[in-house]
Amino acid sequence: MSEPATGRPRPAEALLVEVAGRQVRVTNPDKVFFPARGETKADLVRYYLAVGEPLLAAVGGRPILLERHPDGAGGKSFFQKRIPAGAPPWLQTTVVATPNGTTSNALVLADLAHVVWMVNLGCLGLHPWAYQASDPDHVDELRIDLDPQPGVSFDRVRDAALETRDVLDELGIMAFPKTTGSRGLHLYVRLQRRYDAYQVRAAAVALARELERRRPDLLTAAWWKEERGSRVFVDYNQNAPHKTVFGPWAVRARVGGQVSTPLRWDEVPDIAPDELTLANVPDRLAALGDPWAPMNGAPQSLEPLLEWSARDLAAGLQDAPWPPVYPKQPNEPPRVAPSRARKPER
Q: Tell me the pLDDT tens digit for each residue of 66-100.
A: 999 999 998 999 999 999 988 999 999 999 988 88
Domains of the chain, earliest start first: 15-136+249-253 (3.90.920.10), 139-242+298-318 (3.90.920.10)
The predicted structure's pLDDT at residue 256? 97
Question: Quick one: CA torsion of 330, 331, 337, 340, rounded to 10 degrees?
Answer: 100
HSE toward the beta carbon, residue 280, CA cutoff 13 A: 9
Q: Average pLDDT of the chain?
A: 94
DSSP 152-185: --HHHHHHHHHHHHHHHHHTT---EEEE-SSS-E
What percent of the chain lies above the pLDDT cut of 70? 95
How many C-beta atoms lie closer than 10 Å to residue 72's C-beta?
21
The predicted structure's pLDDT at residue 4? 45
Pick the closest to residue 69 from 42, 34, 96 (CA basis): 34
Q: Tell me the pLDDT tens digit for each residue of 194-215.
A: 999 999 999 999 999 999 999 9
d(CA 99, CA 225): 23
Q: Tell me the pLDDT tens digit for each residue of 216-261.
A: 999 999 999 999 999 999 999 999 999 999 999 999 999 999 999 9
HSE toward the beta carbon, residue 9, CA cutoff 13 A: 6
The predicted structure's pLDDT at residue 98? 82
d(CA 234, CA 210): 11
Q: Tell me the pLDDT tens digit for each residue of 171-194.
A: 999 999 999 999 999 999 999 999
The predicted structure's pLDDT at residue 100? 80
Residue 81 near residue 104, CB atoms below 8 Å: yes
Q: List, in order, residues 6 or more apart from 118 with CB less than 8 Å away.
A: 64, 66, 107, 126
Q: Is the pLDDT of residue 345 over 90?
A: no
The predicted structure's pLDDT at residue 12? 66
Q: List, in order, residues 6 or more apart from 56 with CB less than 8 Å away.
A: 109, 111, 112
Q: Tell me the pLDDT tens digit for each residue of 279-330.
A: 999 999 999 999 999 999 989 999 999 999 999 999 999 999 999 999 999 9
Q: Is the pLDDT of residue 5 over 70?
A: no
d(CA 137, CA 144): 20
d(CA 15, CA 29): 7
How many C-beta atoms lie closer than 10 Å to residue 254's C-beta?
18
